[in-house]
Amino acid sequence: MDALYEKLAVELMKGNEQEVNRFTKEALDKGAEARQILDKGLLAGMDVVGKKFKAGDMFIPEVLLCARCMHGAMDILQPFLSEGDAAGAGKVVIGTVEGDLHDIGKNLVAMMMQGAGFKVVDIGTNISPQAFVDAVKEHQPQLIGMSALLTTTMPKMEETIHALEEAGVRDQVKIMAGGAPVTQDFVEKIGADAYGANAASASEKAKELVA
């Protein structure tokens, strides 16, 4: 079975959707556990993809293609996964803070996180502190990701953290922040848990935070 997992990982890294689906079904047919297929095949492949991307050996569109293969295979596995397993690496609520309509960076991070096995709830742009609080209550994520492109909206990140504190849900979640003007120093200053300098490092940090 390990050979099959390996083939699955290799085809995933190539972004070969048909083969990924075929090997996923084959593994199920041979009696492999869905969770094992996910961990040893798909996520193992995505792990390599993430590393290669970080090293500058892959283009984002290639990574996105791999992530799409991963989702296709997840659809096949879904009925065989327990509820806990289906949540994958964890659940993330992600959004661009209030006053900011920029979302390319945030979307990239969301896609990278999905590729890393997270269930991502993208709540969009121009998200008020209260809306973040509401999303935490509704979706019960382990992680929150906040994005800003404008320095003028960066203070909203701190306000959002305060709102989470006031609502008594701050301790339920780890908070990540990123965006072009955001720095490690800023993230520490506002009391968030991690800073993602780019989409690859954000998804890596996310994995560390929930590990």
**Residues engaged in binding other proteins (CB under 8 A):** 53, 56, 58-61, 99, 101-102, 104-105, 108, 150-153, 155, 180-181, 198-199
Tokens of 158: 């701190």
Q: Smaller CB distance to other proteins: residue 34 or 187? A: 187
Q: Minimum Å distance from CB 152 to other proteins? A: 4
Q: Smaller CB distance to other proteins: residue 32 or 63? A: 63
Please tell me the distance from the alpha carbon of residue 57 to that of residue 81, in angstroms, as a whole number: 33
Q: Dihedrals φ, ψ of 151, to 5°?
A: -65, -25
Q: Minimum Å distance from CB 184 to other proteins? A: 15
93 forms beta bridges with: 121, 144
Q: Smaller CB distance to other proteins: residue 29 or 185? A: 185
Q: Would you list the DSSP string of 42-85?
A: IIHHHHHHHHHHHTT-S-HHHHHHHHHHHHHHHHHHGGGS-HHH
Q: Minimum Å distance from CB 113 to other proteins? A: 13
Q: Smaller CB distance to other proteins: residue 125 or 142? A: 125
Q: Minimum Å distance from CB 28 to other proteins? A: 34
Q: Dihedrals φ, ψ of 119, to 5°?
A: -90, 120
